[in-house]
Amino acid sequence: MIDARTGSKARLTAIVRWAQWRRSIRLLLIHLVLLAGVVLTGAPYLYTITGSFKENSEIFSLPLRFWPQEPTLTNYQRLLSGSEIPFLRQMGNSAVVAVAQTALTLLVVSMVGWGFAKYEFAGKRVLFLALLATLTIPFQVTLVPLFLLMLRLRWVDTYWAIVLPGAVNAFGVFFMRQAMLAVPRDLLDAARIDGASEWGLFWRIGLPLSRGALSVMGLLIFVSSWNDYLWPLIVLRTQQKFTYPLGLATLVGLYKVEYGMILAGAFLASLPVIALFVAGRNQLLQNLTIGSIRG
């Protein structure tokens, strides 16, 4: 009797142990797969950075070396001297465009978001459906007529052509409306009784209470403007006005052998985005999916 009981207990511990062992092996495998993924994802980026500190002769020599033999700043010096393209200026252009785009779009979309979230008015449903329609029609449809319009307005080769159409961001409206629905109505009514204007309600209560959504939306707008290639390629004409993706693309087209310089440019252009990503990572991970999935 006693023997049998200890026997089954021993068997039980063996089973539990085996299950634990199996689980830790599984967990170990998961870690290994994820680490392999990190290496495969990170290697191209890292190689770009290390490559930007190599002489071209080293980039194009076998066997490949991941780390530079004799680290050099030549690529950066040549790129920033502006002898090939005015790269610093183009980065500056990108910054101007992206900042202006972010400020204007945030203002415009949060105003509409506020209008839809906090007021009842005639035509609200129709206008909201019209917005929905925007999301089903791909932007490619508008490229040609929008370009012809820019020609007529004489906005080709100016940043108006980028920033103004860019502010018509239907996704941003949904996102901000979703966030602004949460602003309590009582708070607004109380402020109205205290004599606040409708604009004051939006500016002093609506915007501050939607800070989280504003910062995520702002980050997304900034990054997509900073990275945009197709539309600036269509409307910008001169090297001096180019944003950096156009500049880098010309470098790729013209100087395929000067790869170190191109890599240096790619790295420099990624720095602002990396900085923003690191600074806003928690906000981003929490809020990125709000507008898209529940909205």
Binding positions for other proteins, 255-284, rule CB under 8 A: 259, 262-263, 265-266, 269-270, 273-274, 277, 281
Contact 220, 290 (CB under 8 A): no
- Return the number of other C-beta atoms located less than 10 Å from residue 79's C-beta: 25
Q: Is 252 helix (H, G, I), strand (E, B) or coil?
A: helix
Chain position carrying tokens 């090297």: 239
Q: Token pair for residue 147?
A: 């370009």
Smallest gap, in angstroms, from Cβ of residue 171 to other proteins? 11
Contact 241, 157 (CB under 8 A): yes
Q: Token pair for residue 133?
A: 């329609």
CA distances from 212 to 126, 175, 223, 275 (A): 29, 11, 17, 18
Q: Token pair for residue 108?
A: 């415009």
Our CB check for other proteins shows the closer of 10 and 25 to be: 25
Name the one range near other proteins by CB under 8 A: 6-14, 40-48, 68-76, 77-85. 40-48
Q: Token pair for residue 124?
A: 């609200």
Contact 183, 206 (CB under 8 A): yes
Which of 8, 20, 21, 42 lies at the binding interface for other proteins (CB under 8 A)? 42
The mark string for 149-188 relative to other proteins (x by CB under 8 A, - otherwise) is x-x------------xx-xx----x---------------
Name the one range near other proteins by CB under 8 A: 5-13, 73-81, 126-134, 208-216. 126-134
CA distances from 106 to 210, 217, 258 (A): 11, 7, 39
The mark string for 183-222 relative to other proteins (x by CB under 8 A, - otherwise) is ---------x-----xx--x--------------------
Which of 15, 16, 38, 190 lies at the binding interface for other proteins (CB under 8 A)? 38
Which of 1, 121, 126, 129 lies at the binding interface for other proteins (CB under 8 A)? 121
Contact positions with other proteins (CB under 8 A) in 66-105: none
Contacts of 274 (CB under 8 A, 6+ apart): none
Name the one range near other proteins by CB under 8 A: 5-13, 59-67, 68-76, 209-217. 59-67
Smallest gap, in angstroms, from Cβ of residue 43 to other proteins? 6
Contacts of 261 (CB under 8 A, 6+ apart): 75, 78, 79, 84, 251, 255
Which of 10, 15, 36, 43 lies at the binding interface for other proteins (CB under 8 A)? 43
Which of 12, 13, 18, 37 lies at the binding interface for other proteins (CB under 8 A)? 37
Name the one range near other proteins by CB under 8 A: 14-22, 73-81, 108-116, 210-218. 108-116
The Cα–Cα gap between 158 and 168 comes to 18
Contact positions with other proteins (CB under 8 A) in 239-258: 245, 248-249, 252
Which of 1, 145, 186, 238 lies at the binding interface for other proteins (CB under 8 A)? 145
